[in-house]
Amino acid sequence: MIELLLLLILIVGIVIGVLIYTQRSRSQKQDTPPPPPQDPFAASATTDTAGDPLAIKAGDMIDWGNERTWIRGTLRLSEGGYTWSEHFLEVEGGKRWLSVEEDPDVELALWSGRPDLSLVPQGKSIELEGVTYKLEEKGSGSYRSEGTTGLKAQGGMDYADYESDDGQLLAFERFDHGNWEVSTGQKIAAGTFTIFPGS
């Protein structure tokens, strides 16, 4: 009889212990609420709300507000330890790209290819369509190609950059000792577009 009573007390003690443990576990889980849902396209606190232009790569989508386009390919350019990027946009009829450089602030420019022009970078200034452009810098470097650029995986390039007094841009580039390619451009602010990273 005493053995049966001891067994009953032992069983009741185990049941009470299990109930106390379960209750404590539930109250601890309720004390820490689950994290709120996160926006996968939200920029981190360390970047601009439009995204980080220095992180743009082939496959990313760019939203200009009234137009969306994809980055088809990227050139990573370097000269003597200095690096910058050119991102080719998917557009119909023509060639457009976004250049990104850090010097020391991030500088952005939107460019359009001008195959209709047969200019070469000669002299300290060039007159084009009533605008006078002055030579800013020129040099030679190397490139590395990502995605669709129309160039080899890597090679050499020459460039000459001109700018007008009112900030209009004129650039000359040639790759692997080919013909000079002429483009016109304009500086833009980082908030002009939103970057949606590709997969």
Higher pLDDT, 31 or 76: 76
With cut-offs at 50, 70 and 90, classify the pLDDT of residue 2: confident
**How many CA within 13 A on the CB side of residue 139?**
12
Q: What is the pLDDT of residue 137?
A: 94
Predicted pLDDT at 86: 96
Q: Which helix (H) or strand (E) holds 135?
A: strand 131-147
- For residue range 81-129, list pLDDT tens digits in order: 899 999 999 887 778 999 999 988 899 999 999 999 989 999 999 999 9
**SS3 of 68, please?**
strand
> How many residues can be counted in the chain?
199
Where are the alpha helices (H) located in the chain, listed in sequence order?
A: 2-31
Average pLDDT, the chain: 84
Round to whole Å and give the CA distance between 7 and 16: 14
Quick check: 168 pLDDT over 60? yes
User: Cα separation of 197 and 53, whole Å?
Assistant: 11
- Structure confidence at residue 43 (pLDDT): 43
Q: What is the pLDDT of residues 38-65, one digit of tens each?
A: 554 444 433 444 788 999 999 999 998 8
Query: pLDDT above 90 covers what percent of the chain?
Result: 60
Q: What pLDDT score does 67 carry?
A: 86
Question: For residues 49 and 128, what is the distance between their CA atoms, to the nearest angstrom?
Answer: 37
Q: Look up tokens 């443990």; give the residue.
A: 21
Q: What is the pLDDT of residue 125?
A: 96
User: pLDDT tens, 68-81?
Assistant: 899 999 999 999 98
Task: Taking residues 31-36, report their average pLDDT.
Answer: 56
